[in-house]
Amino acid sequence: MARGLDRQRHILDFTLAALLRRKGKTGALVAVYTLVVFLLASALFFGHALRREAELVLKDAPEITVQRSLTGRYAPIPKEYAGAIGEIRGVSSARPRLWGYYYDANSRANYTLVVPAENQPDPGTIVIGSGIATLRDANPGDQIGFTGYDGAAQSYRVARVLPEGAGLVSADLILISERDYRALSGIPDGEATDLVLTVHNAKEFATVAEKIRQRFPDTRPIVRDEILRTYDALFNWRGGVVAVLSGMAGLAFVIFAWDKATGLSAEERKEIGVLKAVGWETSDILAMKFWEGIAVSFTAFLLGVTLGYLHVFWGGSFLFAPVLKGWSTLYPNFRLIPAVDFGELGAILFLVVVPYSVSTIVPSWRAATIDPDAVLR
Protein backbone atom coordinates (compact mmCIF):
# COMPACT_ATOMS: atom_id res chain seq x y z
CA MET A 1 0.00 0.00 0.00
CA ALA A 2 2.70 2.48 1.02
CA ARG A 3 4.70 1.23 -1.97
CA GLY A 4 1.78 2.02 -4.22
CA LEU A 5 1.58 5.54 -2.85
CA ASP A 6 5.31 6.07 -3.23
CA ARG A 7 5.12 4.75 -6.77
CA GLN A 8 2.37 7.24 -7.61
CA ARG A 9 4.35 10.00 -5.95
CA HIS A 10 7.45 9.24 -7.98
CA ILE A 11 5.45 9.13 -11.17
CA LEU A 12 3.72 12.39 -10.29
CA ASP A 13 7.05 14.06 -9.55
CA PHE A 14 8.44 12.85 -12.81
CA THR A 15 5.36 14.05 -14.69
CA LEU A 16 5.46 17.52 -13.20
CA ALA A 17 9.16 17.81 -13.98
CA ALA A 18 8.47 16.66 -17.53
CA LEU A 19 5.69 19.24 -17.95
CA LEU A 20 7.99 21.96 -16.71
CA ARG A 21 10.72 20.80 -19.05
CA ARG A 22 8.37 21.42 -21.97
CA LYS A 23 7.35 24.88 -20.90
CA GLY A 24 6.21 26.10 -24.29
CA LYS A 25 3.91 23.22 -25.07
CA THR A 26 2.51 22.95 -21.56
CA GLY A 27 2.01 26.70 -21.39
CA ALA A 28 0.08 26.79 -24.64
CA LEU A 29 -2.14 23.91 -23.56
CA VAL A 30 -2.86 25.39 -20.14
CA ALA A 31 -3.51 28.81 -21.66
CA VAL A 32 -6.10 27.54 -24.14
CA TYR A 33 -7.63 25.26 -21.55
CA THR A 34 -7.85 28.12 -19.04
CA LEU A 35 -9.47 30.35 -21.61
CA VAL A 36 -12.22 27.80 -22.25
CA VAL A 37 -12.84 27.28 -18.54
CA PHE A 38 -12.79 31.03 -18.01
CA LEU A 39 -15.43 31.69 -20.67
CA LEU A 40 -17.63 28.93 -19.41
CA ALA A 41 -17.21 29.84 -15.75
CA SER A 42 -17.93 33.50 -16.47
CA ALA A 43 -21.09 32.61 -18.36
CA LEU A 44 -22.37 30.29 -15.66
CA PHE A 45 -21.48 32.56 -12.74
CA PHE A 46 -23.07 35.46 -14.52
CA GLY A 47 -26.28 33.62 -15.26
CA HIS A 48 -26.43 32.32 -11.73
CA ALA A 49 -25.84 35.74 -10.21
CA LEU A 50 -28.52 37.32 -12.39
CA ARG A 51 -30.91 34.62 -11.34
CA ARG A 52 -30.08 35.27 -7.72
CA GLU A 53 -30.57 38.97 -8.26
CA ALA A 54 -33.97 38.38 -9.79
CA GLU A 55 -34.89 36.11 -6.91
CA LEU A 56 -33.90 38.79 -4.44
CA VAL A 57 -35.96 41.38 -6.26
CA LEU A 58 -38.93 39.13 -6.49
CA LYS A 59 -38.69 38.01 -2.90
CA ASP A 60 -40.11 41.37 -1.91
CA ALA A 61 -42.43 41.47 -4.87
CA PRO A 62 -46.12 41.06 -4.17
CA GLU A 63 -47.47 37.55 -4.28
CA ILE A 64 -50.08 38.48 -6.86
CA THR A 65 -50.15 41.48 -9.15
CA VAL A 66 -53.34 42.37 -11.00
CA GLN A 67 -53.11 44.25 -14.26
CA ARG A 68 -55.85 45.42 -16.50
CA SER A 69 -55.76 44.24 -20.01
CA LEU A 70 -57.95 45.56 -22.82
CA THR A 71 -57.93 43.61 -26.07
CA GLY A 72 -54.80 41.99 -24.87
CA ARG A 73 -53.00 45.27 -24.26
CA TYR A 74 -52.01 46.70 -20.93
CA ALA A 75 -54.23 49.46 -19.54
CA PRO A 76 -54.33 51.38 -16.25
CA ILE A 77 -56.59 49.78 -13.71
CA PRO A 78 -59.45 51.65 -11.93
CA LYS A 79 -58.70 52.10 -8.24
CA GLU A 80 -62.17 50.81 -7.24
CA TYR A 81 -61.14 47.32 -8.31
CA ALA A 82 -58.87 47.27 -5.27
CA GLY A 83 -61.79 47.37 -2.89
CA ALA A 84 -63.72 44.58 -4.61
CA ILE A 85 -60.70 42.35 -5.03
CA GLY A 86 -59.68 42.94 -1.43
CA GLU A 87 -62.90 41.24 -0.36
CA ILE A 88 -62.21 37.99 -2.14
CA ARG A 89 -61.63 35.27 0.41
CA GLY A 90 -57.94 34.61 0.99
CA VAL A 91 -56.83 38.09 -0.04
CA SER A 92 -55.59 40.02 2.98
CA SER A 93 -54.99 43.27 1.22
CA ALA A 94 -55.12 44.89 -2.22
CA ARG A 95 -53.24 48.07 -2.93
CA PRO A 96 -53.04 50.16 -6.12
CA ARG A 97 -49.52 50.94 -7.36
CA LEU A 98 -48.17 53.73 -9.53
CA TRP A 99 -45.02 53.11 -11.50
CA GLY A 100 -43.69 53.03 -15.02
CA TYR A 101 -40.74 53.56 -17.30
CA TYR A 102 -39.35 56.76 -18.65
CA TYR A 103 -37.22 56.78 -21.78
CA ASP A 104 -34.60 59.46 -21.74
CA ALA A 105 -33.80 60.18 -25.38
CA ASN A 106 -30.70 62.21 -24.59
CA SER A 107 -28.85 59.56 -22.68
CA ARG A 108 -30.78 56.79 -24.44
CA ALA A 109 -31.59 55.05 -21.20
CA ASN A 110 -34.71 53.71 -19.55
CA TYR A 111 -35.50 54.81 -16.03
CA THR A 112 -37.94 53.15 -13.69
CA LEU A 113 -40.42 55.56 -12.11
CA VAL A 114 -41.96 54.44 -8.85
CA VAL A 115 -44.34 56.11 -6.45
CA PRO A 116 -43.39 54.50 -3.14
CA ALA A 117 -46.15 53.31 -0.87
CA GLU A 118 -44.63 55.06 2.10
CA ASN A 119 -42.31 58.04 2.44
CA GLN A 120 -43.19 59.59 -0.86
CA PRO A 121 -40.80 62.40 -1.81
CA ASP A 122 -42.29 65.86 -1.48
CA PRO A 123 -43.94 67.08 -4.66
CA GLY A 124 -41.34 68.72 -6.88
CA THR A 125 -38.53 66.55 -5.60
CA ILE A 126 -37.29 63.11 -6.59
CA VAL A 127 -34.92 60.47 -5.28
CA ILE A 128 -32.72 58.90 -7.97
CA GLY A 129 -30.61 55.79 -8.33
CA SER A 130 -26.86 55.94 -8.57
CA GLY A 131 -26.87 54.96 -12.25
CA ILE A 132 -28.98 57.96 -13.16
CA ALA A 133 -26.93 60.25 -10.93
CA THR A 134 -23.79 59.27 -12.82
CA LEU A 135 -25.42 59.40 -16.21
CA ARG A 136 -27.02 62.80 -15.74
CA ASP A 137 -24.24 64.09 -13.54
CA ALA A 138 -26.80 65.00 -10.89
CA ASN A 139 -26.14 65.62 -7.23
CA PRO A 140 -28.58 66.28 -4.40
CA GLY A 141 -29.95 69.76 -4.84
CA ASP A 142 -29.62 69.79 -8.64
CA GLN A 143 -32.63 70.17 -10.90
CA ILE A 144 -33.39 67.45 -13.44
CA GLY A 145 -35.70 68.02 -16.38
CA PHE A 146 -38.11 65.48 -17.90
CA THR A 147 -40.60 65.65 -20.71
CA GLY A 148 -44.17 64.79 -19.73
CA TYR A 149 -46.68 62.70 -21.68
CA ASP A 150 -48.05 65.88 -23.22
CA GLY A 151 -44.65 67.24 -24.20
CA ALA A 152 -44.54 69.73 -21.36
CA ALA A 153 -41.18 70.09 -19.64
CA GLN A 154 -41.12 69.10 -15.98
CA SER A 155 -38.31 69.82 -13.62
CA TYR A 156 -37.58 68.25 -10.24
CA ARG A 157 -35.05 68.84 -7.54
CA VAL A 158 -32.91 65.83 -6.58
CA ALA A 159 -33.56 65.26 -2.92
CA ARG A 160 -31.31 62.26 -2.47
CA VAL A 161 -29.27 59.72 -4.42
CA LEU A 162 -29.86 56.07 -3.53
CA PRO A 163 -26.72 54.37 -2.31
CA GLU A 164 -24.93 52.00 -4.65
CA GLY A 165 -24.70 48.30 -3.86
CA ALA A 166 -28.27 47.37 -4.40
CA GLY A 167 -26.90 46.61 -7.84
CA LEU A 168 -29.12 46.07 -10.81
CA VAL A 169 -32.30 46.89 -9.02
CA SER A 170 -31.89 50.46 -7.92
CA ALA A 171 -29.43 51.96 -10.36
CA ASP A 172 -32.15 53.14 -12.71
CA LEU A 173 -34.75 53.95 -10.10
CA ILE A 174 -36.59 57.28 -9.68
CA LEU A 175 -38.81 57.71 -6.65
CA ILE A 176 -41.44 60.36 -7.29
CA SER A 177 -44.52 61.75 -5.59
CA GLU A 178 -47.98 60.71 -6.71
CA ARG A 179 -48.90 64.19 -7.92
CA ASP A 180 -45.77 64.56 -10.05
CA TYR A 181 -46.15 61.05 -11.36
CA ARG A 182 -49.65 61.74 -12.61
CA ALA A 183 -48.53 64.99 -14.20
CA LEU A 184 -45.69 63.25 -15.97
CA SER A 185 -47.48 60.09 -17.06
CA GLY A 186 -50.97 61.38 -17.72
CA ILE A 187 -52.62 58.60 -15.73
CA PRO A 188 -55.78 60.26 -14.34
CA ASP A 189 -56.79 60.25 -10.70
CA GLY A 190 -58.79 57.16 -9.92
CA GLU A 191 -56.57 54.89 -12.00
CA ALA A 192 -53.39 53.06 -11.11
CA THR A 193 -50.68 51.10 -12.92
CA ASP A 194 -51.65 47.85 -11.28
CA LEU A 195 -52.86 46.31 -8.02
CA VAL A 196 -50.78 44.27 -5.65
CA LEU A 197 -52.35 41.69 -3.38
CA THR A 198 -51.08 39.96 -0.32
CA VAL A 199 -52.27 36.41 -0.01
CA HIS A 200 -50.92 34.62 2.99
CA ASN A 201 -51.62 31.06 2.09
CA ALA A 202 -49.48 30.02 -0.86
CA LYS A 203 -51.88 27.21 -1.68
CA GLU A 204 -54.61 29.73 -2.44
CA PHE A 205 -52.67 31.65 -5.09
CA ALA A 206 -54.20 29.72 -7.93
CA THR A 207 -57.76 29.88 -6.55
CA VAL A 208 -57.54 33.59 -5.86
CA ALA A 209 -56.15 34.26 -9.33
CA GLU A 210 -58.98 32.25 -10.84
CA LYS A 211 -61.64 34.11 -8.87
CA ILE A 212 -60.24 37.48 -9.94
CA ARG A 213 -60.25 36.41 -13.56
CA GLN A 214 -63.89 35.38 -13.25
CA ARG A 215 -65.09 38.47 -11.47
CA PHE A 216 -63.10 40.97 -13.49
CA PRO A 217 -62.64 39.49 -16.95
CA ASP A 218 -60.66 42.55 -18.08
CA THR A 219 -57.86 41.84 -15.58
CA ARG A 220 -54.85 39.67 -15.65
CA PRO A 221 -53.58 38.38 -12.30
CA ILE A 222 -49.88 37.47 -12.27
CA VAL A 223 -48.62 35.13 -9.60
CA ARG A 224 -45.09 35.80 -8.36
CA ASP A 225 -43.89 32.25 -8.71
CA GLU A 226 -44.84 32.36 -12.35
CA ILE A 227 -42.65 35.40 -12.87
CA LEU A 228 -39.83 33.60 -11.16
CA ARG A 229 -40.26 30.67 -13.47
CA THR A 230 -40.29 32.89 -16.50
CA TYR A 231 -37.14 34.65 -15.36
CA ASP A 232 -35.56 31.35 -14.69
CA ALA A 233 -36.37 29.97 -18.07
CA LEU A 234 -35.04 33.16 -19.59
CA PHE A 235 -31.75 33.17 -17.69
CA ASN A 236 -31.26 29.49 -18.21
CA TRP A 237 -31.91 29.88 -21.84
CA ARG A 238 -29.39 32.66 -22.12
CA GLY A 239 -26.99 30.69 -20.00
CA GLY A 240 -27.65 27.78 -22.33
CA VAL A 241 -26.82 29.82 -25.39
CA VAL A 242 -23.59 30.94 -23.84
CA ALA A 243 -22.91 27.36 -22.85
CA VAL A 244 -23.48 26.20 -26.40
CA LEU A 245 -21.12 28.85 -27.69
CA SER A 246 -18.56 27.91 -25.09
CA GLY A 247 -19.19 24.30 -25.98
CA MET A 248 -18.08 25.08 -29.48
CA ALA A 249 -15.01 26.73 -28.09
CA GLY A 250 -14.60 23.61 -25.99
CA LEU A 251 -14.86 21.44 -29.06
CA ALA A 252 -12.20 23.44 -30.81
CA PHE A 253 -10.16 22.97 -27.68
CA VAL A 254 -10.72 19.24 -27.68
CA ILE A 255 -9.45 19.06 -31.23
CA PHE A 256 -6.48 21.11 -30.15
CA ALA A 257 -5.90 18.82 -27.19
CA TRP A 258 -6.24 15.77 -29.37
CA ASP A 259 -3.72 17.20 -31.75
CA LYS A 260 -1.32 18.07 -28.95
CA ALA A 261 -1.64 14.69 -27.36
CA THR A 262 -1.50 12.58 -30.51
CA GLY A 263 1.22 14.60 -32.09
CA LEU A 264 3.75 13.44 -29.53
CA SER A 265 6.99 15.11 -30.45
CA ALA A 266 9.88 12.88 -31.44
CA GLU A 267 11.51 13.89 -28.18
CA GLU A 268 8.54 12.68 -26.12
CA ARG A 269 8.23 9.41 -28.00
CA LYS A 270 11.89 8.83 -27.39
CA GLU A 271 11.48 9.65 -23.73
CA ILE A 272 8.60 7.24 -23.26
CA GLY A 273 10.56 4.61 -25.15
CA VAL A 274 13.47 5.08 -22.77
CA LEU A 275 11.20 4.87 -19.74
CA LYS A 276 9.75 1.62 -20.99
CA ALA A 277 13.16 0.26 -21.85
CA VAL A 278 14.58 0.96 -18.39
CA GLY A 279 11.69 -0.79 -16.65
CA TRP A 280 8.51 1.25 -16.75
CA GLU A 281 5.44 -0.69 -17.63
CA THR A 282 2.48 0.36 -19.79
CA SER A 283 0.38 1.10 -16.74
CA ASP A 284 3.16 3.29 -15.31
CA ILE A 285 3.09 5.37 -18.46
CA LEU A 286 -0.71 5.46 -18.32
CA ALA A 287 -0.43 6.66 -14.73
CA MET A 288 1.99 9.31 -15.90
CA LYS A 289 -0.42 10.44 -18.60
CA PHE A 290 -3.22 10.43 -16.04
CA TRP A 291 -1.25 12.71 -13.74
CA GLU A 292 -0.38 14.88 -16.69
CA GLY A 293 -4.09 15.29 -17.43
CA ILE A 294 -4.89 15.95 -13.78
CA ALA A 295 -2.12 18.53 -13.45
CA VAL A 296 -3.10 20.36 -16.61
CA SER A 297 -6.85 20.16 -15.95
CA PHE A 298 -6.54 21.15 -12.32
CA THR A 299 -4.35 24.15 -13.08
CA ALA A 300 -6.58 25.30 -15.91
CA PHE A 301 -9.74 24.67 -13.92
CA LEU A 302 -8.51 26.60 -10.92
CA LEU A 303 -7.13 29.46 -13.00
CA GLY A 304 -10.16 29.62 -15.26
CA VAL A 305 -12.68 29.52 -12.42
CA THR A 306 -10.78 32.13 -10.42
CA LEU A 307 -10.46 34.42 -13.41
CA GLY A 308 -14.13 33.88 -14.22
CA TYR A 309 -15.08 34.74 -10.65
CA LEU A 310 -13.00 37.90 -10.73
CA HIS A 311 -14.39 38.80 -14.12
CA VAL A 312 -18.01 38.46 -13.07
CA PHE A 313 -17.96 39.70 -9.51
CA TRP A 314 -15.17 42.25 -9.66
CA GLY A 315 -14.77 43.14 -13.28
CA GLY A 316 -18.44 43.80 -13.89
CA SER A 317 -18.59 40.99 -16.49
CA PHE A 318 -17.27 43.46 -19.02
CA LEU A 319 -17.16 40.74 -21.65
CA PHE A 320 -20.80 39.71 -21.55
CA ALA A 321 -22.68 42.48 -19.89
CA PRO A 322 -23.72 43.96 -23.23
CA VAL A 323 -24.86 40.63 -24.64
CA LEU A 324 -26.81 39.40 -21.69
CA LYS A 325 -28.51 42.49 -20.38
CA GLY A 326 -29.49 44.39 -23.46
CA TRP A 327 -27.46 47.42 -24.28
CA SER A 328 -28.31 49.42 -21.26
CA THR A 329 -26.02 52.34 -20.69
CA LEU A 330 -27.07 52.50 -17.10
CA TYR A 331 -25.07 49.67 -15.68
CA PRO A 332 -21.49 50.33 -16.59
CA ASN A 333 -20.03 48.92 -13.41
CA PHE A 334 -22.56 47.27 -11.22
CA ARG A 335 -21.45 44.60 -8.84
CA LEU A 336 -23.24 41.29 -8.67
CA ILE A 337 -23.48 39.61 -5.34
CA PRO A 338 -20.98 36.73 -5.38
CA ALA A 339 -22.86 33.46 -5.61
CA VAL A 340 -21.30 30.21 -6.72
CA ASP A 341 -22.91 26.85 -6.54
CA PHE A 342 -21.46 23.38 -6.60
CA GLY A 343 -23.67 22.37 -9.47
CA GLU A 344 -22.07 25.10 -11.52
CA LEU A 345 -18.55 23.92 -10.78
CA GLY A 346 -19.66 20.39 -11.59
CA ALA A 347 -21.11 21.56 -14.87
CA ILE A 348 -17.85 23.25 -15.83
CA LEU A 349 -15.98 20.13 -14.86
CA PHE A 350 -18.19 18.03 -17.07
CA LEU A 351 -18.25 20.45 -19.99
CA VAL A 352 -14.48 20.78 -20.14
CA VAL A 353 -12.61 18.15 -18.18
CA VAL A 354 -14.58 15.15 -19.40
CA PRO A 355 -14.22 15.98 -23.11
CA TYR A 356 -10.54 16.72 -22.54
CA SER A 357 -9.93 13.46 -20.72
CA VAL A 358 -11.91 11.39 -23.18
CA SER A 359 -10.04 12.92 -26.07
CA THR A 360 -6.69 12.11 -24.50
CA ILE A 361 -7.35 8.50 -23.47
CA VAL A 362 -6.56 6.95 -26.82
CA PRO A 363 -3.49 9.07 -27.57
CA SER A 364 -2.15 8.39 -24.09
CA TRP A 365 -2.68 4.72 -24.55
CA ARG A 366 -0.89 4.87 -27.92
CA ALA A 367 2.04 6.56 -26.24
CA ALA A 368 2.03 4.09 -23.39
CA THR A 369 2.19 1.09 -25.68
CA ILE A 370 5.31 2.19 -27.54
CA ASP A 371 7.59 -0.83 -27.90
CA PRO A 372 10.23 -0.86 -25.21
CA ASP A 373 12.73 -2.24 -27.69
CA ALA A 374 12.15 0.73 -30.00
CA VAL A 375 15.00 2.60 -28.33
CA LEU A 376 17.38 -0.25 -28.92
CA ARG A 377 17.96 0.94 -32.44
Q: Which one of 4-12, 136-144, 146-154, 301-309 is the stretch in contact with other proteins (CB under 8 A)? A: 4-12
- Asked whether the beta carbons of 132 and 195 are under 8 A apart, the reply is no
CB of 209 to other proteins, least distance (A): 13
- From 244, 248, 255, 310, residue interacting with other proteins (rule: CB under 8 A): 244
- From 233, 248, 302, 337, residue interacting with other proteins (rule: CB under 8 A): 233
Q: Is 239 in the site for other proteins (CB under 8 A)?
A: yes
Residues 297-336: x where in contact with other proteins by CB under 8 A, - otherwise, as a string: ----------------------------------------
Cα–Cα dist 22/18, whole Å: 7
Q: Is 286 in the site for other proteins (CB under 8 A)?
A: yes
Q: Is 70 in the site for other proteins (CB under 8 A)?
A: no
Q: Is 243 in the site for other proteins (CB under 8 A)?
A: yes
CA dist list (Å): 285 to 95, 213, 372: 72, 71, 12
- From 30, 37, 43, 321, residue interacting with other proteins (rule: CB under 8 A): 43
Q: Looking at beta carbons only, is 180 or 344 nearer to other proteins? A: 344
Q: Is 357 in the site for other proteins (CB under 8 A)?
A: yes
Cα–Cα dist 165/56, whole Å: 13
Q: Looking at beta carbons only, is 145 or 343 nearer to other proteins? A: 343
How would DSSP label each residue in 22-69?
THHHHHHHHHHHHHHHHHHHHHHHHHHHHHHHHHHHHHTS-SEEEEEE
Contacting other proteins within 16-35 (CB under 8 A): 17, 21
- Asked whether the beta carbons of 167 and 334 are under 8 A apart, the reply is yes
Q: Is 9 in the site for other proteins (CB under 8 A)?
A: yes
- From 47, 129, 131, 221, residue interacting with other proteins (rule: CB under 8 A): 47
Amino acid letter, residue 153: A
Cα–Cα dist 309/43, whole Å: 10
- From 104, 180, 194, 344, residue interacting with other proteins (rule: CB under 8 A): 344
Burial 140-163 (b: 16+ CB within 10 A, else e): eeeebebeeeeeeeeebebeebbe
Q: Is 346 in the site for other proteins (CB under 8 A)?
A: yes
CB of 13 to other proteins, least distance (A): 8
Q: Is 6 in the site for other proteins (CB under 8 A)?
A: yes
Contacting other proteins within 173-232 (CB under 8 A): 225, 228-229, 232
How would DSSP label each residue in 279-334?
T--HHHHHHHHHHHHHHHHHHHHHHHHHHHHHHHHTSTTTTTHHHHH-S-TT-TT-
CB of 223 to other proteins, least distance (A): 10
Angle value at C-alpha 68, between 67 and 72, nearest 5 degrees? 110
Q: Is 283 in the site for other proteins (CB under 8 A)?
A: yes
